């Protein structure tokens, strides 16, 4: 079974600083990979996804993520954080085989932004 690890439970950055949120997965092949963001009291919003091809993917709100097969990682980055980015971020994997429906989520990383 696949698993997802987000090693950082809580990260605090200053507004305008760069950001990197880590995600490592365990799966036999290359899965489909996603990052979601959840603002307080809200549902999850899709930031970006990786299915195949270019390993650097661009998402909404200025976020990007890089897939590194050798490290089984899919880290999320943003060059300059805004106060509105304060939220919880979830990495998720979906097996790439046929008949796979179940997303596996990491436990999440809570981002706090200092003005």
Partner 1 sequence: DVKVTQSSRYLVKRTGEKVFLECVQDMDHENMFWYRQDPGLGLRLIYFSYDVKMKEKGDIPEGYSVSREKKERFSLILESASTNQTSMYLCASSIGQGRGNQPQHFGDGTRLSIL
Closer by beta carbon to partner 1, 35 or else 81: 35
Q: Which of 81, 87, 93, 94 binds partner 1 (CB under 8 A)?
A: 94
Question: Is residue 108 a contact residue for partner 1 (CB under 8 A)?
Answer: yes
Closer by beta carbon to partner 1, 99 or else 115: 99
3-state secondary structure (DSSP) of residue 83: helix
Rounded to 5°, the CA angle 101-107-112 comes to 130
Question: Is residue 80 a contact residue for partner 1 (CB under 8 A)?
Answer: no
* Residue 111: other Cβ atoms inside 10 A: 21
Question: Is residue 11 a contact residue for partner 1 (CB under 8 A)?
Answer: no
Q: What is d(CA 9, CA 63) in angstroms, rounded to the nearest whole number?
A: 19
Question: Is residue 60 a contact residue for partner 1 (CB under 8 A)?
Answer: no
CA-CA distances (angstroms) from residue 20 to 27, 96, 105? 22, 25, 18
Pairing state between β 10-14 and 109-114: parallel
Q: Which of 74, 78, 106, 113 binds partner 1 (CB under 8 A)?
A: 106
According to CB under 8 A, which residues from 20 to 59 bind partner 1? Answer: 32, 34, 36, 41-46, 49, 51
CB of 94 to partner 1, least distance (A): 6
């Amino acid at each position: 079974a696949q698993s997802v690890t987000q090693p950082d439970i809580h990260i605090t950055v200053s507004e305008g600083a760069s950001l990197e949120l880590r995600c490592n997965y365990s799966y036999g092949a290359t899965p489909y990979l996603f990052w979601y963001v959840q603002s307080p009291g809200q549902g999850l919003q899709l930031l970006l996804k990786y299915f195949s091809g270019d390993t650097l993917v661009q998402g909404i709100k200025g976020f990007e993520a890089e897939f590194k097969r050798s490290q089984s990682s899919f880290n999320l980055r943003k060059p300059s954080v805004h106060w509105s980015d304060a939220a919880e971020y979830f990495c998720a994997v979906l097996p790439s085989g046929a008949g796979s429906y179940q997303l596996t989520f990491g436990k999440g990383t809570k981002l706090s932004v200092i003005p």
